[in-house]
Chain A
Amino acid sequence: MLIFEHARKGRLNYSQSPTKPATKSKIPQNLLRKSPVLLPEVSEMDTVRHYTRLSQKNFSIDTEFYPLGSCTMKYNPRACNSLAMLPQFLSRHPLAPEDTGQGFLACLYELQEILKSVTGMAGVSLTPMAGAQGELIGVMMIRAYHEARGDFARTEIIVPDAAHGTNPATAVMCGFKVVEIATDKDGNVDLAALKAAVGPQTAGLMLTNPSTLGVFEKNVAEMSRVVHAAGGLLYYDGANLNAVLGKVKPGDMGFDVIHINLHKTFSTPHGGGGPGSAPVGVAERLLPFIPIPIVTKENDHYRWVTEQDKPQSIGRLSAHMGNAGVLLRAYIYVRLLGMNGMHRISEFATLNANYLMAELRKAGFEIAYPNRRASHEFIVTMKDIKDKTGVTAMNLAKRLLDKGYHAPTTYFPLLVPECLLIEPAETESKETLDAFVTSMKEILNEIESQPDMVKAAPHTMPVRKLDDVKAARELDLAWKPNT
């Protein structure tokens, strides 16, 4: 039932708006609205009940194991939320003077410094509001760097075929041509293909390391030499930083510009799809181009760095300071973990992934890269099972929902047929992983004994399999009265 269907004409929550309608108006008649606003007229209690019930139709980290590969679904500490929502922080206007926000600015400044330290970069800007915006900003800086040197011939960005779809989409948004390079049989970027692809037209290479195949790119140092020798820059997509935090720094791997997904590695909430936050880090030579605002400290006073300080900056990419409240949550998280907590993240994320990979292999699942260590995630391929039984990776994913687990990422990366990308994250206990393996074994048995039941999954969710084709063909994107 939609919220609109709980509504009755004339119902109003008297405590939530001015008691009497104001009469003083100087708005010209011709600018006044004549059509009704179709917001629902529901009581406060019915609203609370409706949205509480809707929430109960969601899987979430707080309620289920959520091994969604490439998304790093770790526990989001509650303290990060409650302390970021202290009333002084919530009520502060973004354009309020700096001296009324020294506490807030101190948190951002320290977060910048900590992120610089763990990534080995020379500068950090906290403005990007999502991973994809971090990428956009990073590639814009690559462009600005080349153009500032009078080099306008660099029109191509190289992207491995295993990359997230945002990488090529971002390069195009920045006006570049995308050159895709292949992956070898062990899951590494094909070095010969990279060498053949670089040249005076190369603006840069975008790389995720560990890659989306769940393995560490062993040749990263050589790749960095090849791209730099051709005059290009290296972009680090920080989607998988959780796997190597505190172990190896992107700056040490030779990357010139990076983004860090705070909603992954630094545990800020995913919120049903956002808000994310993806600070960018840069090497020395890209410092002049970094987006504003950033926070600086002078004589114990924090202030915004603006276009006056950074005339070559690529500019502003958000109306204010990115997703400021998300940045506070990340700050609180890093302070809770501290120096030793940083490398424990990658250690236990990697331990959990390798353990789960070993146990699933023993249970009879085929691992896509069996001769490699898992990073913080790994791939199971259902190709053989599909060939024998017709049961697909998506069928298994839906059956997992019935067992009380969120599904792994399916059909990404596109290189591995019938793939499940599984990322357990460091906050899960051994018992949870063991119980998951037990359920996976059960499904394997069900695939043998009752494949049609598995193909028709899920069976216990609020709805059964939904008709995507109908949704796209008979577009129904907004409720209208009497429909």
Chain B
Amino acid sequence: MPFIPHTEEDIAEMLASIGAKSIEELFDEIPKELVSGELTGVPPGLSELQITRLMMERANKDGFYQNFIGAGAYEHHIPAAVWQITTRGEFYSSYTPYQAEASQGTLQLLYEYQSMMASLTGMDVSNASMYDGATALAEAALMAVRSHKTSRKILIPQTVHPIYRQVVRAIVSNQKIEVVELPFCTECGQILPESLAKSNHEDFAALVIPQPNFFGVLEQVDALTDWAHSKNAFAIGVVNPTSLALLTPPGEWGSKGADIAVGEGQPLGIPLSSGGPYFGFMACKNDLVRQMPGRIIGRTTDLDGKEGFVLTLQAREQHIRRSKATSNICTNQGLMVTAATIYMSLIGPEGLRRIAAQSHANTQELIEQLEKISGVKRTFSGPTFHEAVLTLPKKTTDILNQLKQKGILGGLDLSTHYPELGNTLLVCATETKTAEDLHNYQQALRHILG
């Protein structure tokens, strides 16, 4: 029996101890009319050899492509040590560290993670992670509304990832929180600080500020943060963690710094893997820590005065507070954060800076090369980090299909989410791409358009 160690003799002895004649008898409290028959919808079991062949066939069917898609999930080199250590059984098969003395490995690692994320974002404290970037933003919006006494409105620019906006809407609408969208400048691809004047008469709990934004364009974060604070609204930064090695972190935006920073942690050592599992990060200023959802680890001492780590501020959480909890969340993405912590340790501050700078440089180089093709041009004038939007002379889906035939996933067609922009393509080249890769892309596109 797969994964069940019982011998016939074991079963007989165990039933005798219980005083039951059969295993079936142990289910005698289930009313007869509810008992189901055979599970006909489940195929017969496979051996490990058979399932290995099946999964290899399916994996081979999917194959490998040169990937130039970003849009919230980014391909980066992941050191071999990251997942070899992360999948050690002691990390992989342990539970939430409720028994602190028997979970110091996970707890210390999470404390180190919180320390790294607080520094990276320029904030005072970080939690131990959220489900993903989109839900982290939704939780930040809820947190802002809880802390803001008068407004239940959140201002979100249309330069924020369109799916993040959908997720935020789906979650916060349950609590009658209104999401107000802010249009962007179609020339520069940014939120113009002067465009906020229209919202001056309205009361908002928070302004969401993406950096870089969904188009890869860098926003004028200082002015946006100061505007939010002038209106007594919280500033929530949605940031790419790799970019923070180069860019001013949210904690230092404007004169006071943003209040909450969130984002998708996937670039920090998590494989693309068709969309998950990833992890969301969330960090904030000290005065908001008691409104922060999710697990938080604190450093303390034991009976002998020796340093140790525990889950803390649990009085915010559902298993203590039940219906009065700050959130229903009772997990973090523990294993993903384990990988991210090991990744950040292996890469270090200079390594992350080089990865960010190379990704920026590669994207600049790719855009310059592609702009040499007739009819291809940058859509927006704003400065970019490691992603940019191109306007194409033909229908984007057709071009992408032809690139795919050549083994290249050329980027994301923006026509679904931004039909008003015409034939556009969001393209990204991280440090994983070589000069030859960039040249090959240019040659392929030139051939298709030529």
Residue in chain B with minimal CB distance to A308: B416
Residue in chain B with minimal CB distance to A7: B348
Q: Are B6 and A90 in contact (CB under 8 A)?
A: no
Instruction: Give the total of B residues in contact with A, Cβ under 8 Å.
Output: 202
A96-B71 Cα distance, complex, nearest whole Å? 11
Selecting from B36-44, B178-186, B224-232, B437-445, the interface stretch reads B36-44
A101-B404 Cα distance, complex, nearest whole Å? 13
A32-B356 Cα distance, complex, nearest whole Å? 12
Q: Are A272 and B104 in contact (CB under 8 A)?
A: no
Contact with B along A335-364 (1 / 0, CB 8 A): 111111111100110111011001100100
A81-B277 Cα distance, complex, nearest whole Å? 13
With A165-B317, A467-B302, A475-B312 known, 10 other A-B pairs at CB within 8 A are: A38-B119, A86-B56, A94-B276, A248-B30, A272-B91, A272-B103, A316-B167, A317-B171, A323-B276, A406-B99
Contact with A along B350-375 (1 / 0, CB 8 A): 11111101101110110000000000
A42 contacts which of B120, B131, B163, B345 (Cβ < 8 Å)?
A: B345
Q: Which residues of chain A have C-beta atoms less than 8 A from B362's C-beta?
A: 22
B335 contacts which of A4, A275, A342, A463 (Cβ < 8 Å)?
A: A275
Selecting from A135-143, A280-288, A446-454, the interface stretch reads A135-143
How far, in Å, is B179 (CB) from chain A's closest CB?
12
Q: Which 5 A-B pairs have the closest CB atoms?
A: A117-B41, A338-B45, A320-B275, A62-B89, A271-B335
How far, in Å, is A187 (CB) from chain B's closest CB?
11
How far, in Å, is B362 (CB) from chain A's closest CB?
8
Q: Which residues of chain A have C-beta atoms less than 8 A from B321's C-beta?
A: 165, 169
Q: Which residues of chain A have C-beta atoms less than 8 A from B259's C-beta?
A: none
Q: Are A466 and B308 in contact (CB under 8 A)?
A: yes
How far, in Å, is B146 (CB) from chain A's closest CB?
11
Q: Which residues of chain B have C-beta atoms less than 8 A from A48's C-beta?
A: 81, 85
Q: Are B43 and A273 in contact (CB under 8 A)?
A: no
A66 contacts which of B92, B95, B119, B167 (Cβ < 8 Å)?
A: B95
Q: Are B57 and A103 in contact (CB under 8 A)?
A: yes
Q: Is B175 an interface residue (CB 8 A)?
A: yes
Main secondary structure on A side of the interface with B: loop
**Chain A to chain B contacts (Cβ below 8 Å), 7 pairs:** A44-B346, A81-B92, A101-B274, A143-B174, A172-B323, A351-B6, A355-B17
B59 contacts which of A47, A88, A269 (Cβ < 8 Å)?
A: A88
Q: Which residues of chain A have C-beta atoms less than 8 A from B55's C-beta?
A: 83, 86, 107, 332
Q: Which residues of chain B have C-beta atoms less than 8 A from A96's C-beta?
A: 65, 67, 69, 274, 409
Q: Are B31 and A221 in contact (CB under 8 A)?
A: yes
Q: Are B95 and A466 in contact (CB under 8 A)?
A: no
Q: Which residues of chain B have C-beta atoms less than 8 A from A326's C-beta?
A: 276-277
Q: Are B10 and A59 in contact (CB under 8 A)?
A: no
Q: Are A39 and B95 in contact (CB under 8 A)?
A: no
Q: Is B376 an interface residue (CB 8 A)?
A: no
Q: Are B90 and A93 in contact (CB under 8 A)?
A: no
Selecting from B193-201, B202-210, B324-332, the interface stretch reads B324-332
Known A-B contacts A55-B91, A132-B318, A275-B335; the reply to A427 vs B62 at CB < 8 A is no
Q: Are A95 and B118 in contact (CB under 8 A)?
A: no
Residue in chain A with minimal CB distance to B46: A335
How far, in Å, is A7 (CB) from chain B's closest CB?
8
A135 contacts which of B83, B328, B338, B365 (Cβ < 8 Å)?
A: B328
Known A-B contacts A74-B3, A94-B272; the reply to A41 vs B350 at CB < 8 A is yes
Q: Are A37 and B244 in contact (CB under 8 A)?
A: yes
Q: Which residues of chain A have C-beta atoms less than 8 A from B52's C-beta?
A: 79, 83
Selecting from A13-21, A194-202, A380-388, the interface stretch reads A13-21
A96-B54 Cα distance, complex, nearest whole Å? 22
A57-B421 Cα distance, complex, nearest whole Å? 54
Residue in chain B with minimal CB distance to A326: B277
Q: Is A75 an interface residue (CB 8 A)?
A: yes
Q: Is A373 an interface residue (CB 8 A)?
A: yes
How far, in Å, is B403 (CB) from chain A's closest CB?
11
Q: Are B306 and A464 in contact (CB under 8 A)?
A: yes
Q: Are B45 and A335 in contact (CB under 8 A)?
A: yes
Q: Are A71 and B45 in contact (CB under 8 A)?
A: no
Residue in chain A with minimal CB distance to B416: A306
A51 contacts which of B26, B103, B109, B120 (Cβ < 8 Å)?
A: B109
Residue in chain B with minimal CB distance to A85: B83
Residue in chain A with minimal CB distance to B351: A17
Instruction: Kindly name the residue among B43, B99, B176 whose own CB sees the greatest number of chain A CB atoms within 10 A.
Output: B99
Q: Are A38 and B115 in contact (CB under 8 A)?
A: yes
Q: Are B300 and A470 in contact (CB under 8 A)?
A: yes
